[in-house]
Structure 1
Amino acid sequence: MLAAAHRHDPLFVISVAAELADMHPQTLRQYDRLGLVTPRRQGGRHRRYSPYDIEQLRQIQQLSSEGVSLEGIRRILALQNRVEDLESEVAELRQALRESQRNPTGTRVFAVGSGGDVVTVPRGQRPRPAGRELIIWRDRQRER
């Protein structure tokens, strides 16, 4: 089984992909034209399917056998792809958060003006309120 990092690598020519998905190559071409599964192109001409594309072809076949229309299948696949993208983004953000918590770069100080704009205050200086501005900072001396 391929690692998750390689599941989108274009590996299979259309004949191999059709055999793996248990479909006719013409069906794969039709799905490509409809935008259901869009393989990468090698040299601009030859389709190359990834293991993920094969998974989607099998899912299309399953949904189709259950009576879901091609438009319904297209919407399902689009939503699943969106969920996968969002899950990946959440994982990246969680990793970045863990890194920032492990290696703090110091105190961040900023002021929020009355117009809602954020103004950065240089390190080591305290903001001076002008009018009715809200000042936010973290006092590391008090935390100790």
Structure 2
Amino acid sequence: MTGFGGPAPDAAVYVISVAAELTGLHPQTLRTYERMGLITPGRTAGGGRRYSHHDLELLREIADLTAHGIGIEGVRRILDLDNRVTALRLRNRDLQAELEVTRAALRRARIAAGTAHPNTLPVLRHSVTGQSVVVWRPS
């Protein structure tokens, strides 16, 4: 549950008719998207579909892309690339955190060994474009 008493974004609570109404899509379209593997709604013990808020957002995104003339295979590719970008961002965040922990440990080790000097640690600098990283070490 969220802080406002509503369901969590991933809680599968909406029946197909409600999901269709909330997204402006026909229930058969939702079933088709499921068959195509674009969406995977939750299921009840009896086999009924249940959609989450996250599912509704995905359905709206699919509808928006198709409304702009993108075919289903293009939509599939866009969603796949979007998922990859999200995964890479999370991995990058994890690696940055790991780097900071490693740098702190290295700093502590150098201080403990009495070899600490402000210019002995590598410095990471982002280029103007923000696309590359240069590692600088003093000579």
TM-score of the two chains, using structure 1 as the length reference: 0.61
Q: Which amino acid aligns with 1:78?
A: D
Query: What is the distance in 1 between the residues matched to 2:54 and 2:116?
Result: 49
Q: 1:94 to 1:10 in 2, by over 3 A?
A: farther
The ranges of structure 1 where at least 4 consecutive aligned residues each deviate by more than 6 angstroms after the TM superposition are: none
Which of the numbers 13, 25, 32 marks the counterpart of 1:23?
25
Partner letter of residue 141 of structure 1?
G
1:87-110 deviation line (CA, Å, top 9, x unaligned):
223233334444x26974965xxx
What is the 5 A alignment of 1:4-19? 6-19=8-21
1:141 to 87, 106, 114: 114
Quick one: distance in 1 between partners of 2:96 and 2:57?
A: 27
Match of 1:58 in 2: 60
Amino acid at match of 1:26: Q
Q: Secondary structure at the match of 1:45?
A: coil
Deviations 1:59-115 (A, max 9, x none): 1111112211111111111111221222223233334444x26974965xxxxxxxx
Gaps of 5+ in 1: 108-136
Report what 1:75 is aligned to.
Answer: 77
CA distance in 2, matches of 1:44, 1:96: 45
Q: Which deviations, in whole Å up to 9, do the C-alpha atoms of 1:22-43 show, x marking residues without a partner?
A: 1111110110000111222233
Task: Tell me how far apart the structure 2 counterparts of residues 85 and 76 of structure 1 sit (CA, whole Å).
Answer: 14
Return the alpha-carbon distance in structure 1 between the equivalents of residues 48 and 92 of structure 2.
34
Where does structure 2 lack aligned partners over 5 or more consecutive residues? 118-139
Shift in CA distance, 82/101, structure 1 to aligned 2, threshold 3 Å? same
Q: Would you say how many aligned residue pairs link Structure 1 and Structure 2? A: 111
Equivalent residue, structure 2, for 1:94: 96
State TM-score, norm by structure 2. 0.63
Determine which structure has more spread, i.e. the larger CA radius of gyration. 1
Aligned-residue CA RMSD (Å): 3.1
